[in-house]
Chain A
Amino acid sequence: MIQFSEVSKRYAGGNEALASVSFNIEHGEMVFLTGPSGAGKSTLLKLLALIERPSRGQIIVNGQNLGGIRRGQIPHYRRKVGMIFQDHKLLHDRPVFDNVALPLIIAGVAYQDIPKRVSAALELVGLAHKERALPVMLSTGEQQRVGIARAVISRPPILIADEPTGNLDPDLSFEVMQLFRRLNQVGITVLVASHDHNLIRRLGQRVLSLRAGRVVAPELQGDAHAGRA
């Protein structure tokens, strides 16, 4: 589903964020991406979101070579990748409903279909009653769940999350991760960048470790296979 082959990324300043990274994430897998700050996690996710382009190497997502995607085609690619951010990136001047509906409006989904899909997505994250609330009226954990609802509403085959629990306390973090597990169990390929080792250990999924731009010992932890779809 996500395949990196010898991918390197060197920024203009000469800083090499990724060096010859290769890995393969199968369809329906849930993988944690870990590593200390500056290890290249963010860069890797940016390459997947086509925010950045690799300096060398090849990335294939859902059978599509990202190198062959021109600027004008990026929007259509991004619609098939759900993204979740540490800072949620919600629009604070609009109610939850509008935030969650945004990907559907962007994709030109028929308007009469939008309300029920928004309801379903909010139900999934346990915020069915918060449609009319403004993001500022919600707790951080709830805001993150709104972000997740927005990421999954267009039913993307892939979900990538950048430190989704970075601002949450352990209990909330675990809840959010459980949510990712559930999404994974319905067939979505999930890649979560996180440095919360305790949490990752509790969830027992495959871990991809980065250190100084290189993959170190891609390992299967605990009973990772048990829950694989």
Chain B
Amino acid sequence: MPAARDDGARGARLSRQTLGQRFAAYRLHHRQMLAAGFERLRRYPLATLMTVMVIGIALALPAGTLVLVSNAKSVSGTWQGAARISLFLKQNLSDSAVQQLADSVRAHAGVASVKVITASQSLAEFRQHSGFGDTLSLLGSNPLPAVLVIRPTNDYTTPVAAQQLGHELGVLPQVAEVRMDIQWLRRLQAMLDILHRAVLIIALLLALAVVLIVGNTIRLEIENRRTEIEVSKLMGATDAFIRRPFLYHGAWYGLAGGVMAWILVLIALLLMAGPVAHLASLYGSRFSLSGLGFEGSLVLLVSGIALGWLGSWVAVARHLRAIEPT
């Protein structure tokens, strides 16, 4: 059938274009679908706003909670840095013996600094602060022991390491008792860890929710454009070509939801700033809530886009194959 071959060659020659032209057309199609996706969001503002709001809330919940948890962690972290180990020494030690012990303790790798409070200093302090000064003077001898207040080095500030350090110092013969003010911090830390984990689990579930929301919205969109899909397939559109507008559409939803979530978190933090500042002032602290920050904002927006894209993929993968021309 030489005639047929001739014709095929002619068709090829007519439709031939350089790879560069083809790529330019391909890129242009991407840009157009990007714009068209946005246009579709704009066309039905109310419906879009509702969907975006749902996505925004779903993203804002974990994002906001993570911000709070990380704030709480940073607060407890600074407390933990101040974690101290108090060594109450035995009664009969002379001041020079106390000083000697302090020097040897200072040599320990985990010890950043040692503050020596001799028995008489303890007494003076107690007299000043407790209001029992007069009663104390009734006692013939000083009932208070000397104390070494130890600040661990940074390596030893974690609860476990601090505990370890406390044990090591506690076995010294001169030491009567070890007090650590980190027990409650450890508990707080543990609670924050649980909270953090819980928020991550919730975040995963809500991410799944975003995928489903976008997926469902895109499914409706696919249904609305059924004819267009069928006709495009008949005209020789590849799956990728048909998928493209929907993927951009979903990504736009995700981005808009991310922006919405960012605004919601911002509003929530602003609403909490006053009470938090008040609480901090009661502790004599200048602490203020830190927000999402640049990195956090970026992560929020990028995950919004990614989830929107993914949701769209799920819908498109499930439904586009089902739409075949008949």
Once the chains bind, are B227 and A106 in contact (CB under 8 Å)? Answer: no
Q: List chain B residues, Cβ under 8 A from A74.
A: 236
Once the chains bind, are A91 and B3 in contact (CB under 8 Å)? Answer: no
When the two chains form the complex, which single residue of B28, B232, B325 contacts A106, counting CB atoms closer than 8 Å? B232
Once the chains bind, are B15 and A155 in contact (CB under 8 Å)? Answer: yes
Q: Does A79 contact B (CB under 8 A)?
A: yes
Interface of B is mostly: helix
Q: List chain A residues, Cβ under 8 A from B237.
A: 75, 106
Once the chains bind, are B7 and A27 in contact (CB under 8 Å)? Answer: yes
Q: How far is the CB of B7 from chain A (nearest CB, A)?
A: 4
Once the chains bind, are A89 and B227 in contact (CB under 8 Å)? Answer: yes
- Interface size class, chain B: 35 or more
Once the chains bind, are B29 and A103 in contact (CB under 8 Å)? Answer: no
Q: List chain A residues, Cβ under 8 A from B324.
A: 51
Q: How far is the CB of B33 from chain A (nearest CB, A)?
A: 11
Q: List chain B residues, Cβ under 8 A from A28.
A: 3, 7
When the two chains form the complex, which single residue of A63, A102, A108 contacts B235, counting CB atoms closer than 8 Å? A102
When the two chains form the complex, which single residue of A106, A110, A189 contacts B236, counting CB atoms closer than 8 Å? A106
Q: Does A57 contact B (CB under 8 A)?
A: no
Q: Which of B19-27, B84-92, B142-150 contacts A (4 or more CB under 8 A)?
A: B19-27
Q: How far is the CB of B195 from chain A (nearest CB, A)?
A: 49
Q: How far is the CB of A62 from chain B (nearest CB, A)?
A: 6
Once the chains bind, are B28 and A27 in contact (CB under 8 Å)? Answer: no
Q: How far is the CB of B32 from chain A (nearest CB, A)?
A: 9
- Residues 170-223 (chain B) with a chain A CB within 8 angstroms: none
Once the chains bind, are B11 and A49 in contact (CB under 8 Å)? Answer: no
Size of chain A's interface in residues, with CB distance under 8 A? Answer: 38
Report if A51-B326 is in contact (Cβ < 8 Å); known contacts: A89-B227, A110-B24.
yes
Q: How far is the CA of A185 from the CA of B15 in the complex (A)?
A: 20
Q: How far is the CB of A1 from chain B (nearest CB, A)?
A: 5
Once the chains bind, are B235 and A62 in contact (CB under 8 Å)? Answer: no
Q: How far is the CA of A177 from the CA of B99 in the complex (A)?
A: 114
Once the chains bind, are A27 and B1 in contact (CB under 8 Å)? Answer: yes
Report if A79-B25 is in contact (Cβ < 8 Å); known contacts: A27-B7, A62-B4.
no
Q: List chain B residues, Cβ under 8 A from A76.
A: 236
Q: List chain B residues, Cβ under 8 A from A187.
A: 7, 10
Q: List chain B residues, Cβ under 8 A from A46.
A: 326
Q: Does B81 contact A (CB under 8 A)?
A: no
When the two chains form the complex, which single residue of A49, A62, A108 contacts B7, counting CB atoms closer than 8 Å? A62
Once the chains bind, are B8 and A63 in contact (CB under 8 Å)? Answer: yes
Interface string of A101-123 (1 = CB under 8 A from B): 01101111111010000000000
Q: How far is the CB of A188 from chain B (nearest CB, A)?
A: 9
Q: Does B234 contact A (CB under 8 A)?
A: yes
Once the chains bind, are B238 and A75 in contact (CB under 8 Å)? Answer: yes
When the two chains form the complex, which single residue of B4, B7, B25, B233 contacts A75, counting CB atoms closer than 8 Å? B233
Once the chains bind, are A108 and B236 in contact (CB under 8 Å)? Answer: no
Q: How far is the CA of A187 from the CA of B9 in the complex (A)?
A: 13
Q: Does B231 contact A (CB under 8 A)?
A: yes
Q: How far is the CB of A172 from chain B (nearest CB, A)?
A: 23
Q: How far is the CA of A105 from the CA of B32 in the complex (A)?
A: 11
Q: List chain A residues, Cβ under 8 A from B7.
A: 1, 27-28, 62, 157, 187, 189
Q: Does B129 contact A (CB under 8 A)?
A: no
Q: How far is the CB of B39 from chain A (nearest CB, A)?
A: 12
Show the binding face of A for B, using Cβ within 8 Å.
1, 26-28, 46, 49, 51, 62-63, 72, 74-80, 83, 89-91, 102-103, 105-111, 113, 150, 154-157, 187, 189
